[in-house]
Structure 1
């Protein structure tokens, strides 16, 4: 039997050619001269744009002494209310300054529309924009100086009561420049309105829920009482004034307590003016017969500490 050659018994498969590995060569980019020495991972970020100027920068707070009269007030008054009701707050501030000029120099021209102007002014005091709030308070001060007791004639709308409340609230704020301006306005009110009718307006705020409002009301009452003579104090009522003061004698705020002591001492001087013999004893007897025991004790103690 013939044997096959071994070479033909096994079949061989040809080897596949090996692929050559691809070499990745990093391409170096040429840096700009300005990039040398800069850490690319921590390049400085661009500076933020400058903040816009404050919104109140375009409003000037003009003192009353620098407000000049109008050349033609009759013509200027025609567009006053429209300016006050503008949606542009800067325009409203300008119109409020016009109200100030009318109040100081042309009060008779402003008087026919004063009640409406005051209603808009009170609304402006509630505006969250501080410039508008402060300008409206400044306008209130000049209205007091220009019209005084005439403001009490607007009883139907209650605009004076609303204005008084807003001034007490603004004087109680944390914003110092608003608070200081409201304090000035309250002083203008006390200086231009007779004590008797003003005390009737202020008496309702000595028991206000806000302790700061109570304190500001007590200060205004004290300032008003300090202007009164003996006859006026007796006309308003010694007991009524003492009752107004007793609540503030033990108040939490020193401002309220000091104002209350001032009121009590003014009443004491008015009562003892004609008491030649034993004025202290007569005073104590008066307090004990006119007030509750707790109130009388507080009043007598307050006078004794003076």
Structure 2
């Protein structure tokens, strides 16, 4: 009789623990992908632990590169993710040691990089970001010449998106790729590419774009700023000057300081003052903000 009583009780007592188990399981499934899609597949982190992330300094030339270049694209298109990572590392080796062989396939490689960066598996994503850095360093402005408009823009957008994510090692790798991009390309054509990104709906993407723009502007010098135009540069800056993230605002201030310095060195300004220039070319509220910003830098006590 005791056993029957216990059996009859079983359907009643498990109800509360059963609901608690469902709640516990649902939390990581909902929170992890929303923060970062790299963790979408639970098995990925375990498998990714077997991948070696090789620094550029430790990569070696490819033996018989002429023969191996033919199989490079096939490897990057493989359904076996370990082969994809291996091929991405080979693409890095071609870029660093055999760039002339990779150049004719550069646009296809860039599109494969875009696809790999979007891959939810962490190993593929990080390896493709490392490959992007090496390709920027190897080809620089040739990326704009040998890839079409859309291919480069897609790569740029994916780098900004990954640099804006929460997963630290992905974010840092994307930041390195953006840094390599700015460091290896002429600032003027790159600035035209980055210009549209400061209006992106994602505030983190806007901030990352603003940071890259500020690095471009700091490289331009007076001649480059004259060619792009002081006024368009200030318009880019005011878009980020009141943005929500402090990184975007700091980048915008850096752009304003660079433009002001170049303006003061320019012989074309004649007798026009900085204040007059700003009020002549910007909306009153923006002109006032920029004049105040420069004044606070020149006379720090006025900023208090």
Category of TM-score, reference length = shorter chain = 0.7 to 0.9
Give 1:80's aligned residue.
72
Answer yes or no: is 1:205 the counterpart of 2:205.
no
Cα distance in 2 for partners of 1:136, 1:203 equals 24
1:191 equivalent among 183, 208, 224: 183
What root-mean-square deviation, in Å, do the aligned CA atoms of Structure 1 and Structure 2 show? 1.9
8 Å contact from structure 1 (residues 85, 120) kept in 2: yes
Q: What is the number of residues matched between the two proteins?
A: 254
Matches within 5 A, 1:120-135: 120-135=112-127
1:255, distance to aligned residue in structure 2 (A): 0.5
For residue 220 of structure 2, give the secondary structure of its aligned residue in structure 1: coil
1:108 equivalent among 100, 108, 113: 100
1:168 equivalent among 146, 160, 167: 160
Give 1:303's aligned residue.
294
1:157, distance to aligned residue in structure 2 (A): 5.9
For residue 166 of structure 2, give the secondary structure of its aligned residue in structure 1: coil
Cα distance in 2 for partners of 1:273, 1:117 equals 43
When normalised by structure 2's length, the TM-score is: 0.80
2:82 equivalent among 62, 77, 90: 90
Matches within 5 A, 1:118-157: 118-154=110-146, 156=148
1:305, distance to aligned residue in structure 2 (A): 2.6
Offset from partner CA, 1:261-302 (integer Å, 9 cap, x none):
000000000111257x999x8101000001111111121122
Cα distance in 2 for partners of 1:302, 1:170 equals 32
2:283 equivalent among 278, 292, 301: 292
Larger displacement relative to structure 2 (84-93 or 228-237): 228-237
When normalised by structure 1's length, the TM-score is: 0.80
Deviating beyond 3 angstroms after TM superposition, the runs of 4 or more aligned structure 1 residues are 154-157
Offset from partner CA, 1:221-272 (integer Å, 9 cap, x none):
0001111111111111000000000011111111001100000000000111
For residue 86 of structure 1, give the secondary structure of its aligned residue in structure 2: coil
Give 1:243's aligned residue.
235
**Structure number with larger C-alpha Rg:** 1
Structure with the higher helix share, 1 or 2: 2
Answer yes or no: is 1:64 the counterpart of 2:51.
no
Give 1:5's aligned residue.
none
Give 1:21's aligned residue.
none
Offset from partner CA, 1:56-96 (integer Å, 9 cap, x none):
11111000000111121001111111100110101100000
Q: Which has the higher contact order (CA 8 A, sep 6+)?
A: 2
Cα distance in 2 for partners of 1:254, 1:282 equals 29
1:204, distance to aligned residue in structure 2 (A): 0.4
Give unmatched runs, 5+ long, in structure 2. 1-41, 298-304
8 Å contact from structure 1 (residues 58, 90) kept in 2: no
